[in-house]
Amino acid sequence: MALIDNILSYWKLDETSGNRSDSVGSNTLTDNNTVGNATGKISNAASFTSSSSEYLSIATGSQSPDLSIGGSGGDIFISAWVKLATKPANAMQMVTKYEFSDGKREYALYWDNADDRFKLIVFDATTNSNTVTASTFGAPSTGVWYHVMAWVDNVANTVNICVNNGTVDSTSLTVTTHNGTATFRLGAAGNATPIEYWNGDIDETGVWNRVLSSSERTFLYNSTSGITYPFSSTTLTSYDGSNDDTNNRGGSQRQAQGFKIASNQVITGVGIKGSKGNNATAGSFILSIYEGGTHADPVSGTLIKTETFNREILPTYTLSPTIQPVIFTTPTATLTGGSTQYFLVMAFTGGDTNDNVRWSFDNSSPTYADGYYVLATTGSNWVEYSGTDTGFAIYGYTGTATNSGFLAFM
């Protein structure tokens, strides 16, 4: 599952003034009392002055999609980078959907002055609530960026919070979550005239209606650097490929694609889309990622991840209508951005003797499909198709150039 899956809204908060746009849906946040801007964790951040009653908001009736938990059994996940300018003698609200009447209390992510901790509180349709405290992390300092992630897990029946991707603090979920009708706000909570205004900066805030995995949380934190929507590896800085196809008419064969990335990336699997050649089958395939190695010998580097998948990859004779995800059963290591060379290696076994099932390269124009942008080749050089991608992909073909498909990192 990619980080963009089940995301409701994401605000980069890069605007210097005025309303703040939603990069995912239509939940543009209205500027109340002239929220300022400051240097953010990534680019700009929204800067709030509590004495001026500044906050950002969108009313329930205007939300598309709705930013509620999703009723009984629903989940919600909130991620935000925050910086406190001061520590006043009152709580300060960060991300809230909370007003002071039944049916409008839903959730609030906030800093509590009473014990100097970040907290998430979640309500039922009345006044009953559960609160989790980031006790393990402890007290935040002023003037420092913190990555706060908090979520409700209705499967595990827990309310959870962690700071800077540290230890997760959890408490039991005993209330029945519901779809509240309160206004969604950054920097305040309450009725038409809110209270507990945030004094400081907020940046890179997202809301999901599912629980993010540990590897996804690590990816969001990105070794203190953060990462912005659409959570891609930003840029592939170089690409090459090599085919070890001396036995590509059955038995076994291998293909490797080399790449470098501009920033750290957690690889959770690949997506495969394309078609088989005539009569071709694949009894199993091995997916591996190597660090180092060479174009001539891609498996001479350090093995980062390998896993065998016993399944038919592609439907017979026809293009697959959607990407077929190949998800690792255990998380892989974070790949390092910069000059480090990696190779994605696909080794096939049990292929039909009448045709091959190898991945090669195609010079077709890059396209967008199923949430992935793909790469195309120009001669022997990889060229990235830039845009709103969810990672990166390697464009290729199986058997003949007319049977096109691609591999896509997730």
Q: Residue 148 in contact with residue 82, Cβ under 8 Å?
A: yes
**What is the DSSP secondary-structure string of 376-402?**
EEETTEEE---SS-SS-EEEEEBSSTT
Structure tokens at 18: 């005025």
Please state, as a whole number, how many other Cβ atoms lie within 10 Å of the Cβ of residue 393. 28
Query: Sign of torsion, CA 236 79 202 96?
Result: positive
User: Is residue 148 within 8 Å of residue 217, measured between CB atoms?
Assistant: no
CA 284 to chain centre: 29
* Structure-token match 């805030």, residue found: 205
Q: What is the pLDDT at residue 285?
A: 60
Burial class of residue 35, CB neighbours in 10 A (0-12, 13-18, 19+): buried
- pLDDT tens digits, 9-26: 999 999 999 999 999 989
* Identity of residue 328: F
- Give the pLDDT confidence score for residue 254 in this predicted structure: 52
Distance CA 158, CA 156 (A): 6
Positive or negative torsion for Cα 79, 10, 75, 58: positive
| C-alpha 119 chain-centroid distance | 23
User: Would you state the pLDDT for residue 270?
Assistant: 55
Residues 6+ apart with CB under 8 A from 61: none
The letter for the amino acid at 152 is V
pLDDT at residue number 268:
62
Binned average pLDDT, 10 residues per bin, the chain of 410 residues: 81 97 94 98 97 96 88 88 98 96 92 98 95 98 98 96 97 94 95 94 96 85 84 41 32 54 63 40 63 72 75 38 51 70 64 35 32 32 30 30 33
Residue 364's pLDDT is what?
Answer: 36
CA-CA distance, 14 to 45, in Å (whole number)?
6
3-state secondary structure of 28: coil
Q: How many Å from the N-terminal Cα to the C-terminal Cα in the chain?
A: 7
Assess contact for 202 and 188: CB atoms under 8 A. Answer: no
Decide if 293 contacts 345 (C-beta within 8 A): no
Q: Is the peptide bond before 194 cis (omega within 30 degrees of 0)?
A: no
User: What whole-number distance in Å separates Cα of residue 397 and Cα of residue 316?
Assistant: 14
Coil, strand, or helix at residue 286? strand
pLDDT, residue 171, reads 98
Q: What is the pLDDT of residues 306-359, one digit of tens each?
A: 777 654 444 332 333 334 445 566 656 677 777 777 777 766 554 443 333 333
Burial class of 164 by CB neighbour count within 10 A (0 to 12, 13 to 18, 19+): middle
Which top CATH class is 7-221? mainly beta
